[in-house]
Structure 1
C-alpha cells in the first residue's frame, strides 16, 4: 500500500525546490569551482527580475497611491523572506526620513524569528491574519506577501485577510501559479530556477526578492519626492557619516563649495532638501520652508514654482 505525502508532492512541483542539473557534483568540486557555480547561478537572477518589471511598476503605483492617501506599505513573510521584508522596511527611515510606521515588516514568529528559526511559525495560516490585525491593518494600506515557494500558509493567510480588509495586495514568489501569487492583485514571479543547493531559497530566490524590494521601496520614495535628480535629499543626517553625506549631497545638487553647504545645512537644521533650496533660490529659511510645504515636499516642483 502506497502512502502519498501531499506536501511532498507539492514540493516536487515547485521550481524553487527542484534539483539543479548544473550543480549535481558541487560536493566534489574545488573551492573555486564551487563559488564559480554559485556565481553562475546568480547571473540568472537579474534577467528573471527584468521579466517582471511591468508587474513591479504596477505594484509601485499601488504603493505610491496608498502612501499619498495616508496608507502604509506592509511586508509580510516567514524565514528569509520575512527578514528581507524587515530589512527593507527599517532602512527606509534613515534613507528617506519617513516615520518607522510608514513601511512595516511583519515576520512569522515575531521578533524572535528575526535572529532565530521559530519552528512551525510559517505553517500557521491564521497567525498571518492575526499579526496584520494586531498592527491595525486598514483598507488604505498595501500588503506585500513574500514567499519563495509561493505556498507559505502564514503569508497566504495574511493576504486573504488583507483582501477582506480592502487592501491592495502584492505577491512575490519564485514559483508560478502558487497560492501567494493567486491571492494577490499584482503577482511578481521572478523565475530564477532551481537553487545551486537544492531548496536553499535564501540564495537565488532571496536575491531576487531583495532586488524586487529595492525597487518597490526606492521607486515609491522617488515618486513621493524623496529624491532630487538621483540624490537622496531626504536623508536623515543623524550621525557623522550621514552629516558628511548631507553636505556632499548639497554640494552635488548646487555645485556650491563646502563652506556654503555647511552654512545652508546649519540654517536648515541639517535638512539637505531645504538646504539645497536655500542655496539655489537665495530665499530665507522660513520662505523656503513654506515653498517646500506648498509643493508637498517635492524639491523640483518648489524650484520650478520659484522660477
Structure 2
C-alpha cells in the first residue's frame, strides 16, 4: 500500500501571531527555518546523484537539459538555465528553462497558467524535444498540472524525466523517472513556498548544473576557465586566473586574454607563443 500524500508545503506554520513579532524575532525565526533546508537536501543526495548521472549522460550524447515549472519554481529553473552560458561558456540552448505562461510569467503571474494540462508538452515541442534530451519538472507542491502532464507525455515519448518537489509521494514524484523530494516542512508564512521550498529547489538546481558542468570539463582546478568575459569584473578575474596559472605578469596575462578571448585558451597557448 502506498503512503498517503500530504501537502506539507501547505501545512500551518510552526509560528503564529507573526504580526506581533518585532523585526529581530522575525528574522531569527526565518533563519531558524532556513537552517533546516540544507539538512533536507542532504537526505536526498543519492537521488540528486542519480539524476545528475543521467543529465551528464544525456548531455554527453548531444542532448539538452530542460527545466519546466510554474510560478517561483519556473522562475528558479529559468534563473539556473540562464546562468550556465556566462558561468561555463556553454550554448544558451544546452540548458533551457520553460515557465507556464511564457516569458511574461517571469515577472508577473499569469492567471491559471499552471492549470493548463496540455500546454507544458506543447511548450516542450516548440524546442523539437527528443529522447536525447532530459526534462526536469520543478514544483514545490508536486501537483502542478502543467508540469505533471508534461512529464507524463515525456515518458510516453521515451524522454528521460526527473523532478524537484517538496512534498513526499506527490503526483509529480510518481511520474518522474528520477524524483528528488526535498521535504522542508511547513513554511514560516503558511503556504509561502517561495521561502524554504524555493531555497531547497535553488540549492538542488545549483548542484545539478554545477556538478554536470564540472563533469563535462567546464571547470579547471576550481575555476571557471570557460566563463564569458561579459564585463570588466570578469575580464579582471580572467586575467588573474591566467596570471596564477602561468606565472606571467598581469599585463602579459591581460594581453593573452584579449588575444584568445578565453581563459582556457590563453592558458593553453600562452607558453607556446
TM-score greater than 0.5 by the shorter chain: yes
Which of 122, 142, 153 aligns to 2:145? It is 153
In 2, the alpha carbon distance for the partners of 1:194 and 1:100 equals: 35
Q: How does 1:291-306 map to 2 (within 5 A)?
A: none
In 1, the alpha carbon distance for the partners of 2:193 and 2:77 equals: 15
Q: TM-score, normalised by structure 1?
A: 0.85
In 1, the alpha carbon distance for the partners of 2:156 and 2:129 equals: 11
Q: TM-score, normalised by structure 2?
A: 0.95
Question: Which residues of structure 2 form unaligned runs of 5+?
Answer: none
| Residue 183 (structure 1) aligned with residue 183 (structure 2) | no
Structure 1 or 2, whichever has the larger Rg, is 1
Matched with 1:98 is: 90
Which of 251, 265, 274 aligns to 2:265? It is 274
Matched with 2:80 is: 88
Which of 206, 211, 220 aligns to 2:203? It is 211
Matched with 1:20 is: 13
**CA pair 42-229 structure 1, distance change in 2 beyond 3 A:** same
Which of 121, 136, 140 aligns to 2:128? It is 136
Q: What is the total number of aligned residue pairs between the two structures?
A: 270
Secondary structure (helix, strand or coil) at the match of 1:125 reads: coil
Matched with 2:272 is: 283
Q: Check the 8 A contact 1:129/1:160 in 2, yes or no.
A: no
- Please identify which structure carries the higher helix content: 1
| Residue 110 (structure 1) aligned with residue 80 (structure 2) | no
CA RMSD, Structure 1 to Structure 2 (Å): 1.4
Deviation of 1:123 (Å):
0.8
Deviates more, 1:85-94 or 1:251-260: 251-260
Matched with 1:126 is: 118
Matched with 1:246 is: 238
In 1, the alpha carbon distance for the partners of 2:49 and 2:92 equals: 24
Question: Which residues of structure 1 form unaligned runs of 5+?
Answer: 1-9, 285-307
Which of the pair has the greater relative contact order for Cα pairs under 8 Å at 6+ separation? 2
Q: Check the 8 A contact 1:137/1:162 in 2, yes or no.
A: no
Which of 162, 167, 192 aligns to 2:159? It is 167
Q: How does 1:43-82 map to 2 (within 5 A)?
A: 43-82=35-74
In 1, the alpha carbon distance for the partners of 2:245 and 2:143 equals: 46
Deviates more, 1:152-161 or 1:247-256: 247-256
Deviation of 1:20 (Å):
2.2
Deviation of 1:53 (Å):
1.0
In 2, the alpha carbon distance for the partners of 1:194 and 1:58 equals: 27
In 2, the alpha carbon distance for the partners of 1:172 and 1:149 equals: 10
Secondary structure (helix, strand or coil) at the match of 2:75 reads: helix
